[in-house]
Amino acid sequence: MEDDMILCPQDSDLDLSFTSSTSIATTSARSSLARSSLCLSFNDSSRISSAASSTAVPNLHPRPHRKSDANWSAIRAATNLSSDGTLHLRHLKLVRHVGSGNLGRVFLCRLRDYDHASFALKVVDNNALTSKKLSHVQMEARILSSLDHPFLPTLYAHLEVSHYTCFLIDFCPNGDLHSLLRKQPNYRLPIDSVRFFAAEVLVALEYLHSLGIVYRDLKPENILIREDGHIMLSDFDLCFNADVVPKLDNRIQGTTSSSSGKHRSRCYGGNRRRRRTDEEIVTEFVAEPTTAYSRSCVGTHEYLAPELITGNGHGSGVDWWAFGVLVYELLYGRTPFKGGCKESTLRNIASSTEVRFDEESTRGMAQAKDLIEKLLVKDTRERLGCARGATDIKRHPFFDGIKWPLIRMYRPPEVRGLAVKKNSRAHVSHVSGWSSSHKKRRWLWKGLSCIFLKNKGSKRNLNSNHNYYHYKK
Ligand SMILES: Nc1ncnc2c1ncn2[C@@H]1O[C@H](COP(=O)(O)OP(=O)(O)OP(=O)(O)O)[C@@H](O)[C@H]1O
């Protein structure tokens, strides 16, 4: 059966007319309830010329943090036999169609000779795109090629063949968060699951912002779930790039623990004694593109920030607004400003002075409610995250207890409809901070604790933003 779906073996015989192939089953196409992205443009009608591109894009190399990824090893093995040592379409076989979007279609595919590695192949027919959409594809290619993060896709290959652009990225067999939400009672996830997914999204956004990338299309539909239950943010066609100047900020933090004498303290006049014992200086990585500026109105209606709607220009704060809408939707099963139609949704966002909660379903969610209220603030100068990015959001009490540097080791929540592949990798429970009684896991956890808690009394570091050394520009 699979052989029927094989992509033509020679690139020169290329025929990517997938829609005509009835043997390709669409198994997880985006649900009809998924919300499409909006992109207002004043010059959207000119079609791109049909001249076929034959540009060879050099194959990509493993990025520092994904070097040991099994997918890279499979690609290396497959391309060893290639005369030019690069990956071609003939190395791939399509398994099935997984979904279609604005720009193209996505297929599950495997390497022809190395069946154990699965990939997603996003295929864009450049001839079917307007010049505006083509610029989005180019933006997506640029962004994908710069990413190196566990919660973002790895671009294994970028192929330009005839009039098709193909991106080979990680395959996420667990679908997207929007579909997962539809499987929950009242479309609502339990609060611990919301904390888990929100924390991972926050870390992914932090990384993007640290590269100067403003995402602009945050919504559950674009949050894919990997085989191991962790997230992968997708769809970068609406991003824009800005300058960012990363810096290390010192912040004075109150502490409830008694001073161990190891905290560096600052002394200020009259408060000298109290400050010596109750305060410490925390050094934090801050890389928020605060000068980012764009005027194009893009995004998804229910997730648009007010400044996007008014069209007076916006910056990275639109992602923090959308993050607030996301947390709200995961908790309450609907977005906070949704109206009867798209226009009324936009009116609600533009005219709202505060976000409303259904008091009945807010019980036990005081911290989540507080976080949402601080994110869904119209004035960007007051909105949480706009000044110092994710660093400030991570410190909100809703995320208390999350050990940010260990987040990718957390065991994903058990949620209805989410089949997480058990693997040998140790997982830390994000709820209790401890995994099950498995000794091996405990040993690993102990080892990690030793590294992170080397300094007795420096437990604070685990909640600080200390994962910045993972980021490379
Ligand atoms: N890596 C992946 N693994 C599994 N499914 C994927 C992957 N990437 C995309 N999909 C699915 O394929 C469909 C279309 O993908 P995608 O959203 O990237 O296309 P698009 O043309 O950029 O869409 P959009 O309209 O959102 O801009 C979606 O249903 C998505 O869930």
Domains of the chain: 44-170 (3.30.200.20), 177-245+287-409 (1.10.510.10), 247-286+435-472 (no CATH)
The active-site residue, picked from 148, 170, 217, 235, is: 217
Q: What is the ipTM of this complex?
A: 0.96
Q: Is the pLDDT reported for residue 56 higher than 80?
A: no
Distance CA 145, CA 157 (A): 9
pLDDT recorded at residue 436? 37
Protein residues with CB under 6 Å of any ligand 1 atom: 29-30, 36-37, 98-104, 106, 120, 122, 169-172, 176, 224, 234-235, 237
Compute the C-alpha angle 455/149/107, nearest 5°.
150
**CB-based contact 130:45 (threshold 8 Å):** yes
> Higher-confidence residue: 33 or 167?
167
pLDDT recorded at residue 423? 61
> Higher-confidence residue: 47 or 81?
81
Ligand 1 atom showing the smallest separation from residue 224 Cα: 31
The burial class, CB within 10 Å (0-12 / 13-18 / 19+), for 267 is: exposed
44 is catalytic: no
Distance 30 CA to ligand 1 centre (A): 8
Distance 98 CA to ligand 1 centre (A): 8
Give per-residue pLDDT as tens, 342-385: 999 999 999 988 898 877 666 779 999 999 999 999 999 999 99
Q: Whose CA is nearest to atom 30 of ligand 1?
A: 99
This prediction has a pTM of 0.79
The burial class, CB within 10 Å (0-12 / 13-18 / 19+), for 199 is: buried
Distance 315 CA to ligand 1 centre (A): 25
Residue 346 is encoded by which pair of tokens?
């936009």
Give per-residue pLDDT as tens, 257-288: 544 444 433 333 333 444 555 788 888 888 89
Q: Is the pLDDT reported for residue 247 higher than 50?
A: yes
Q: Under 8 Å CB-to-CB from 382, ≥6 apart: which residues?
A: none
- Ligand 1: which of 109, 167, 218, 234 to mutate, judged by most atoms within 8 Å of the beta carbon? 234
Q: Is the pLDDT reported for residue 441 higher than 60?
A: no
Give per-residue pLDDT as tens, 148-157: 999 999 999 9
Distance 191 CA to ligand 1 centre (A): 27
Mean pLDDT of the chain: 78
- Ligand 1: which of 119, 122, 123 to mutate, judged by most atoms within 8 Å of the beta carbon? 122
Distance CA 103, CA 390 (A): 30
Give per-residue pLDDT as tens, 91-118: 999 999 999 998 999 999 999 878 889 9
